[in-house]
Amino acid sequence: MDANELGEKIVKTLKTIYDPEIPVDIYELGLIYDVFVNEDNHVKVIMTLTTPNCPVAESMPLEVEEKVRSLPEVKEAKVELTFEPPWNRDLMSEEAKLELGFL
């Protein structure tokens, strides 16, 4: 499995994780800024939260890391939390905006 295929599989996994306050997965919500996969199948996910004092600020990055690491092809997974740029509604997919009534 090449890095692109693994990246797609990781995105599918990320789409199974939901924000507890919003009924949309974290990928469609725009909380995942980037996913890097190197040739050794080490993965780095750069993500944010809707606010710095989000109730899941500690548990969500751990959940993301654990789910990505659980994929058999992934050798190592790290999550980097950032608030630059700050999350806003414009980062949401059209699907998420529609789901939440923003369209």
Contact yes or no for 73/41 (Cβ under 8 A): yes
Residue 15 per-residue DSSP state: T
Q: Apex CA 11: angle with CA 78 and CA 18, to 5°?
A: 85
Q: 81 forms bridges with which residues in the sheet?
A: 47
pLDDT (tens digit, 0 to 9) for every residue of the chain, 103 residues total?
Answer: 888 899 999 999 999 999 888 889 999 999 999 999 999 999 999 999 988 888 888 899 999 999 999 999 999 999 999 999 999 999 999 999 998 998 8
Residue 66 parent element (H or E): helix 59-69
Domains of the chain, first to last: 3-99 (3.30.300.130)
